[in-house]
Amino acid sequence: MSHRPPAPLTGLVAAFLADDGTADWARNVPRRLETLLGTMPAPARAAVRGAAAVIDAYAVARTGGRLSGLGPAQREDVMASLVSRRALLPFLDAVKVPLLLAAGTERIPHQGAAPARPAPDDPPLDCTPSGQWPTRSTADAVVIGSGAGGAMAARTLARAGLRVVVLEEGEHHSTASFARRAPLDRFGDLYRDGGATIAVGSPPLVVPVGRAVGGTTVVNSGTCYRTPDDVLARWSRRHGFAAAEGFEADLDEVERTLRVAPQPLDVLGGNGLLALAGAQHLGWAAAPLNRNAPGCAGSCQCVVGCPTGAKQSVQLSVLPQACAAGARIVTSARVRRILTDPDRPGGARAAGVLVRRPDGSELEILSPLVVVAAGALQTPPLLRRSGLGGHPRLGRNLSVHPAISVAGRFSRPVTSWKGVLQSVGVEHLRTDGILIEATAAPPGMSSFVLPGVGRELRRELEGADRLATIGAMIADRPSGRVHGRDRTLIRYDLAPRDARRLLRAQRAIGALLFAAGAEEVLTGVPHAPRARTPAQLEELLDGVTAGRLHVSAFHPTGTAAAGADPELSPADPDGHLRGARGVLIADGSVLPSCPEVNPQLSIMAAALAITRRFVAKAS
Amino acid sequence: MTRRGTVFEETMLGRVRLVAEDRDRPLRLDLRARADRVLLPHRTTRARLTGRVRIAGRADDPEAVGELEISPLARRRIRYRITFTLEGRRLTLDGWKSVSPRHPLASMTVLPYTLYEDGERVGDGTLRFPLVTGLLPFLTSFRFPPAAVPAADRDTASRWDGKPGRTEVWYTTLTDQATGSGVWLHHEVVAPTDGSGAYAHGWVAVFPKDGPVEHARFGPFPWEAAPQGFAAEGIRALPGRLTGSAEPFSWALTEEPDGPPLHTFPGWSWRRPWLPASQMLPAARARYSGTVRYGTGELRLDGAPGASARIYGHGNARRWAWLHADLGGGDILEIIAAVSMRRGLDRLPPLVFLRLHRDGRTWPRRVERSAVGWAGVGRFRADIRLPEWRVEGRAGRRRIRVTVTQPPHRTLALGYTDPDGSAAVCRNSETADAVVSLERWWGRWRPEAAWRLSGTAHAEVGER
């Protein structure tokens, strides 16, 4: 059945993209946008639809006709009138994000339809959909979440001889399924809230989090940084995180498992090569990143699942090993509560989990050990609705690695979506808490938002192949907090120091792009979108505050931090949740503070250390 | 107060889908649950299940057994685990009602379950309690009889509350009927009077029928409370399990209680530690299976008779003697005769605590009777020396005479240190001889029973 998107959406797309009916690709964008909205949480969906309705109403008021009924010139006139109100710019930018996603997908036909080589078979996993899992069952250990932490915990416990069940809210996606489908089609399935998880605050942040067997490791960039020594020393000495002792060996083990190696230059892509060139010109330390993607083909689709199976996400590396040791994975299983026995001698003790299936029915698994690895944004609400959220610091201490993205326009094609998605690390400012990483993305999926609306935006889209995008993330103060029991509500207010760091990062990336030969730098700031010279960029940024930046965040950590001080840390130095026995925290939430680099290795090593210590003590 | 248990009957109906089949079959459970305590909804009560499991066309096992965990409020769970036979296969039904305050009726009557065979899932289904036809029989089936066997586990738990000047002992004596050898395991925690850290120590000894006694001590180790019993440095005396090693010994035994608890001292003195010490047996008899390896040999035990006992108090007596005699046929004689260290009491003759558990009854009926008689009149008497010691006394219309012989070559002397630092020496024998004669007054004293134990009595004599 063919379904027509509502008129306001069609009009919105036509106005934003200056669709004059000449381009075939633009015709399908409204339908693509409609599908995309369907995967988003209701508030985000309502906001976009509402914005479309409001803009449509404005068009009616101004011209007497709806956007979809207007001619290209009249639509351009309406949009120009909107853009002239500077206060509306951030609002228009927010509407642009889903629209660009849909447009990007339609404009560049995805290359997966006829893959150069067939997708390899994935190592076998023992996955059972929750609908086929018995309503009552038992296990020696239940691991909630199959991401970086959960997978490592499951492997360690299964290898110790425990009967392990891993519960995953998302579904299992094979490499073949990634190769078969367009990036945007995968996007909605692989991300929680359709990738539109928002942290409210100043400025609001988008925090995309993966939801699938493999967790966020399915959709991360594959960048593997070891936890820096100064961070480890702080965890060990200041926070008393006992698992941090011997962390080097755990990191080695994780690196071996994920087959981490420096990214070879052959498939690095134009984006990375430009970053290297710019850094060399400036004399900054830069190198291809260490990644867990041996044989990477440079598909630039890490964020929607690697279509060639090169990226060793945990569902291709750790979870098959866990399953070989006897672990079983239940998919489409949302854990409602951790069950507790409050009358056990010595105090409350975890007894198992209550799981909701997609059809609303419930199943229970009894287990004396529950490992919570639901991610830093889901672990606190889960503990709260289980009656285990009594610690006053649970949900606080949230660090997110706020990140910005800046693009440079070059005279020759860069085609940033061919090559490695996150390819080069520039560590010149690492000690100042700023890590610059050359990061491209499939069209429309970059956290960089093209400037302008209407014809201007259309021009930018047409010339997108000449853009290189470079991102930077900063080591932030724990300025966030995760509220909520049933739904997660994230509050994050950028600390003044971190705001300064972001602005400094913005200037540094600008300098890097100009050094690489960029003709123009696109800042991503709606009020000050472009600079053609370094001096102009400096001048432009002098008037910009962090509140105007388009900030994303990718690495939430620390919301159930482990540490020696019972008043400050919801988990004890060994990762046991305080206040109940039999609950281990083994995900990003257990990290005592911001890891300052991409956290996959840190989370996996922490999960390994915590569960290994548990096994050693139990035996 | 008599401890009471709970008995009730429950019927549940439902369906089962076996893995190998493509259709559901009706399933019916008729269960009888027995708990050792009164069923109260706010706490967790465990009960044993017996009953009948019927799967239409496949199984009808009238001798199904299992267990039930009833905790509708605390854990919000009523869990059934029932093992039954299906065409020669042993299957276990494991399921629980998950009590929800939002759906009290449905959640208390619906029992989803899974069937297992050797840990592998072989089926699942749902059972329902038929409210209309089942509620009245269910409610009227409730009975609260005196508890048959109180939980022995509770009496194994550590009593020490952290006070200095206390000693606590778990000791096990048993006889391997195949070889005539005796085994003695002694686990002790001493909390010195001076407040220094408590420590655990003990010893293990094998008394071969004819050969010399072999033994090894273990500890002292710093003591960390083990809620279920004794556990230090891999040596454990926990409910149902005794394991450990002390060069050249190593042992791994299971203990199967066989009989009610036996308080050699008044029961109140175990609950309220007002006497210098109190001794009791969590189960009057027990059976032991497993292996004991020692320097020159190995004992493989299969249901060897013996008993474990507990002592909690301030330290050893000034002088004491102890006997545990398995008289056969479930009859047990337990004697402690002791002179206290307390000033005043130390001038008294030995107080005799004698418990003869015979034909399901214990004589004398009052524990205090043998020790203090009627204000001292008619108390039992003991003559403690070595190699032979005697106890005799009369209560009601019965009198008893016990003679215990501990030949020196079958006796092991070991030194003890009290919490206050004073020393005592205990001479133990697992292969002692005992002669017990019981007479009853019927116009004159007539022999009622006599037992002669040759090398199977467990005895000790301690002195300063």
For residue A26, which amino acid is it?
Answer: A
Q: How confident is the model at residue A111 (pLDDT cuts 50, 70, 90)?
A: very low
Contact A343 B74 (CB under 8 A): yes
ipTM, interface predicted TM-score of the complex? 0.85
CA dihedral of A56, A61, A65, A70, whole degrees rounded to 10: -70
Residues of chain A with Cβ-Cβ distance to B94 below 8 Å are 136, 138
- Decide if pLDDT at A187 tops 90: no
State pLDDT tens for residues A208-251: 999 999 999 999 999 999 999 999 999 999 999 998 888 999 99
Instruction: Using the structure block, give the residue that is written with the tokens 């360690």.
Output: A156
- Decide if pLDDT at A1 tops 50: no
Interface mutation target, options B17, B19, B75, B120, chain A, most CBs of A under 10 Å: B75
User: For chain A, what is the mean pLDDT?
Assistant: 91
Three-state SS sequence of A37-96: HHHCCHHHHHHHHHHHHHHHHHHHHHHCCCHHHCCHHHHHHHHHHHHCCHHHHHHHHHHH
Rounded to 5 degrees, what angle do the CA atoms B92, B95, B100 make?
A: 170
Contact A136 B95 (CB under 8 A): yes
Contact B96 A342 (CB under 8 A): no
Is the CB of residue A295 less than 8 Å away from at least one CB of chain B?
Answer: no
Rounded distance between C-alpha atoms, residue B408 and residue B416, angstroms: 19
**A65 Cβ contact list (under 8 Å, min separation 6):** A59, A74
State pLDDT tens for residues A327-359: 999 999 999 999 999 988 777 899 999 999 999
Instruction: Using the structure block, give the residue that is written with the tokens 């279509």.
Output: A307
**Is A543 or A510 the better-scoring residue by pLDDT?**
A510
Token couple for A330: 């239940």
Q: Which residues pair with B64 in a beta bridge?
A: B51
Please tell me the distance in Å from B411's CA to the nearest CA on chain A: 38
- Decide if pLDDT at A202 tops 90: no
Residues of chain B with Cβ-Cβ distance to A136 below 8 Å are 94-96, 112-114, 124
Which 124-153 residues of chain A touch chain B by CB within 8 A? Answer: 134-138
Please tell me the distance in Å from B23's CA to the nearest CA on chain A: 16
Contact A135 B124 (CB under 8 A): yes
Contact B96 A366 (CB under 8 A): yes
For helices A7-16 and A29-39, the axis angle rounded to 10 degrees is: 120
Residues of chain A with Cβ-Cβ distance to B77 below 8 Å are 339, 351
Query: How far is the CA of A252 from the CAs of A258, A402, A604, A605, in angstroms?
Result: 10, 27, 11, 9
Choose among A219, A214, A122, A207: nearest CA to A168: A214
Average pLDDT of the residues in A48-58: 91
For position B53, what pLDDT does the model report? Answer: 96
Average pLDDT of the residues in A169-173: 95
Contact B112 A135 (CB under 8 A): yes
Which residue on chain B is closest to A139 by alpha carbon? B119
Total residue length of chain A: 619
Average pLDDT of the residues in A104-117: 61
Token couple for B448: 């009622």
SS3 at position B402:
strand
Contact B121 A351 (CB under 8 A): no
Q: How confident is the model at residue B2 (pLDDT cuts 50, 70, 90)?
A: low
* Beta strand B59-71 pairing with A261-262: unpaired
Candidates B75, B114, B227; nearest CB to A136: B114
CB pairs under 8 A between A and B: 42
Q: How confident is the model at residue B260 (pLDDT cuts 50, 70, 90)?
A: confident
Residues of chain A with Cβ-Cβ distance to B121 below 8 Å are 134, 137
For residue B4, which amino acid is it?
Answer: R
Contact B75 A341 (CB under 8 A): yes
Domains of chain B: 6-140 (2.40.128), 152-463 (no CATH)
- Decide if pLDDT at B136 tops 80: yes
Average pLDDT of the residues in A459-464: 87
Contact between A403 and A473 under an 8 Å Cβ cutoff? The reply is yes
Token couple for A257: 């498992």
Interface mutation target, options B96, B107, B126, B238, chain A, most CBs of A under 10 Å: B96
Average pLDDT of the residues in B348-368: 90
Choose among B60, B71, B6: nearest CA to B38: B6
State pLDDT tens for residues A381-410: 999 999 999 999 999 999 999 999 999 999
Average pLDDT of the residues in A565-578: 94
- Decide if pLDDT at B232 tops 60: yes
Is the CB of residue A500 less than 8 Å away from at least one CB of chain B?
Answer: no
Average pLDDT of the residues in B235-253: 90
Candidates A134, A342, A343; nearest CB to B114: A134
Q: How confident is the model at residue A3 (pLDDT cuts 50, 70, 90)?
A: low
Q: What percentage of residues in chain A have a pLDDT greater than 90? A: 68
Interface mutation target, options A128, A136, A165, A336, chain B, most CBs of B under 10 Å: A136
For residue A524, which amino acid is it?
Answer: G
Q: Residue B175 has what DSSP assignment?
A: E
**B118 Cβ contact list (under 8 Å, min separation 6):** none
Average pLDDT of the residues in B95-112: 94
Q: Tell whether the torsion through CA atoms of B351, B357, B358 and B359 is positive or negative.
A: positive
Instruction: Using the structure block, give the residue that is written with the tokens 């076998």.
Output: A124
Chain B residues bordering chain A (beta-carbon distance below 8 Å): 43-44, 71, 74-77, 79, 94-96, 98, 112-114, 121, 124, 126, 227
Residues of chain B with Cβ-Cβ distance to A135 below 8 Å are 112, 114, 124, 126
Choose among A417, A188, A220: nearest CA to A312: A220
- Decide if pLDDT at A140 tops 90: yes
Contact A341 B113 (CB under 8 A): no
Contact A136 B124 (CB under 8 A): yes
Rounded to 5 degrees, what angle do the CA atoms B182, B184, B190 make?
A: 170
Contact A135 B44 (CB under 8 A): no
State pLDDT tens for residues B60-84: 999 999 999 999 999 999 999 999 9
Candidates A138, A345, A351; nearest CB to B94: A138
Contact B44 A343 (CB under 8 A): yes
For position A5, what pLDDT does the model report? Answer: 72
Q: Residue B374 has what DSSP assignment?
A: B
Please tell me the distance in Å from A136's CA to the nearest CA on chain B: 6
Contact between A292 and A259 under an 8 Å Cβ cutoff? The reply is yes
Which residue on chain B is closest to A343 by alpha carbon? B74
Token couple for B52: 């009948």
- Decide if pLDDT at B185 tops 60: yes
Contact A136 B75 (CB under 8 A): no
Candidates B44, B76, B94; nearest CB to A136: B94
Q: How confident is the model at residue A117 (pLDDT cuts 50, 70, 90)?
A: low
CA dihedral of A516, A517, A520, A521, whole degrees rounded to 10: 10
Q: Tell whether the torsion through CA atoms of A17, A23, A26 and A27 is positive or negative.
A: positive
* Beta strand A164-167 pairing with A328-331: parallel
Alpha helices in A202-282, H assignment, sequence order: 229-237, 247-258, 270-282
For position A110, what pLDDT does the model report? Answer: 46
Contact B75 A354 (CB under 8 A): no
- Decide if pLDDT at B449 tops 70: yes
Which 332-371 residues of chain A touch chain B by CB within 8 A? Answer: 339, 341-343, 345-346, 351, 354, 362, 364, 366
Catalytic (active-site) positions of A: 555
**Is A520 or A460 the better-scoring residue by pLDDT?**
A520
Residues of chain A with Cβ-Cβ distance to B97 below 8 Å are none
Please tell me the distance in Å from B183's CA to the nearest CA on chain A: 28
Rounded distance between C-alpha atoms, residue B97 and residue B76, angstroms: 8
Q: How confident is the model at residue B324 (pLDDT cuts 50, 70, 90)?
A: very high
Q: Kindly report whether the peptide bond that precedes residue A203 is cis, defined as omega within 30 degrees of 0.
A: yes
Q: How many separate helices (H) and strands (E) can be counted in chain A?
A: 18, 24
- Decide if pLDDT at A112 tops 50: no
Candidates B76, B114, B227; nearest CB to A137: B114
Average pLDDT of the residues in A30-49: 87
Residues of chain A with Cβ-Cβ distance to B239 below 8 Å are none
Please tell me the distance in Å from A346's CA to the nearest CA on chain B: 9
Query: Which H or E run includes B354?
Result: strand B351-358
Contact between A137 and B114 under an 8 Å Cβ cutoff? The reply is yes
Q: What's the pTM value of the predicted model, to 2 decimals?
A: 0.73
For position A70, what pLDDT does the model report? Answer: 87
Average pLDDT of the residues in A567-573: 94
Q: What percentage of residues in chain A have a pLDDT greater than 70? A: 98
Rounded to 5 degrees, what angle do the CA atoms A349, A326, A361 make?
A: 60
- Decide if pLDDT at B178 tops 80: yes
For position B211, what pLDDT does the model report? Answer: 75
SS3 at position A190:
helix
- Decide if pLDDT at B379 tops 60: yes
Is the CB of residue A74 less than 8 Å away from at least one CB of chain B?
Answer: no
For position A115, what pLDDT does the model report? Answer: 52
Contact A134 B124 (CB under 8 A): yes
